[in-house]
Amino acid sequence: MKNLRLLWIPVVLLVIVFAGWWWHTHTTEESSALVEGQDVNAVLKDPAVIAKGRYLATVGDCMSCHTEQGGAPYAGGRVIATPFGNIPVPNITPDPEHGIGRWSVDDFWRALHTGIGHDGEKLYPVFSYTSFTKTTREDAVAMFAYLQSVPPVAQAPKPLDLKFPYSMRSSLTAWRALYFKPGVYKPDPNDDLRAIATYLQSLPARPKPTVVPPSFDSASLVSRGRDVYAKQCADCHRDNGAGVPGVYPTLDGNSSVVEPTGINAARAVLLGGFAPLTQGNPRPYSMPPYAQQLSDADVAAVVTYIRQAWSNRASAVEERDVAAYRHTPVD
């Protein structure tokens, strides 16, 4: 039996070597110059390119991983815990010693597109190049230009702390052969979107939800909810539920508030949340979670009040429903 196991060793090694050969022959063709016929330095210093890169880095949420709490932007310092050990997040400021100051724009695009680092090392997939692989060269140039414009920070990354054999980057060869293939961005035609829109517009209109008679004293629930709203919600959403345009959303007539189940509003109160940052919404509102401050009864009361105040006409939310929502994991 022992000899039989030993026979598998050269087979495994052969598979790894073949996977490495396949990877090399299928990815090196992508590493040509990104800005042919142009002065690379001029492109990287173009304010419009840098502004686009800043937007893309924000949308890609690069800072959430590459900035530790209270630390300098993009200077790394965080450690991501995995079942295989701890992986430090690198410094991606233009510091030449500890950051990406010695990287070329091709190096940066290769990292995004193929998961290969500046020195040819295989990057661990905790850096989600599996998701970034379809990044276009133009977008990679813009993001690199922006990162080269941020202040360099001489902060060394923390040491890699992975168990054997995961600490050996060569072990990624087989994983990559099995689970990763570089992708190329292709525009998605609008035919599917038009088909979906046509279908949705063909559906009959639904009447606005009406208040369903509750199996409990709704009047006292609404009264209690009015008090909770005045103390916790009115400062942002205003007494009339109109909110502040461009800052805090309106609750009066909000489809997420009056949807049939009440789960959206209840979970928003419990968990909080924030809107995405986009060019059209440069100051997204955020809402703190109230799960620690409000009881299930308080949440049921304030959500019921909101769903029945002003022009809203939706059913009450019961305390038992809030308890279920509180303990349901978020997808």
Res 72 pLDDT > 50: yes
For residue 98, with 0-12 CB atoms within 10 Å meaning exposed, 13-18 middle and 19 or more buried, which class applies?
middle
Closest CA to 224 of 173, 299, 321, 153: 299
Angle at CA 315, nearest 5°, toward 297 and 226? 50
pLDDT given for residue 24 in this prediction = 45
Q: Are strands 79-82 and 161-162 parallel, antiparallel or unpaired?
A: unpaired
- Tell me how far apart the alpha carbons of residues 4 and 1 are, in angstroms, rounded to a whole number: 5
Distance of alpha carbon 16 from alpha carbon 20, whole angstroms: 6
Q: For residues 191 and 98, which has the higher predicted lDDT (pLDDT)?
A: 98
Q: So what's the pLDDT on residue 194?
A: 87
Q: What single-letter DSSP state applies at residue 29?
A: G
Average pLDDT rounded to a whole number, residues 113-138: 90
| Domain range summary for the chain, segments of one domain joined by + | 29-179, 218-326
Q: How many helices (H) and strands (E) does the chain have?
A: 15, 5
* Residue listed under structure tokens 């629930």: 221
Residue 202 confidence class, pLDDT cut points 50, 70, 90 = very high
Instruction: Enter the pTM of the model.
Output: 0.53
The CA-based diameter of the chain, rounded to the nearest angstrom, is 80
Between residues 37 and 118, the one the model is more confident about: 118
Classify residue 195 by its DSSP letter.
Answer: H
Predicted local confidence at residue 26, as pLDDT: 46
What is the CATH code for 218-326? 1.10.760.10
Give tens-digit pLDDT for 286-315.
888 899 889 999 999 999 999 999 999 998
Q: Which two tokens stand for residue 211?
A: 């208040």
pLDDT, residue 190, reads 78
Residue 10 φ/ψ, nearest 5 degrees: -65, -30
Q: Which amino acid is at 196?
A: I
Q: Pairing mode, if any, of strands 286-287 and 273-274?
A: antiparallel
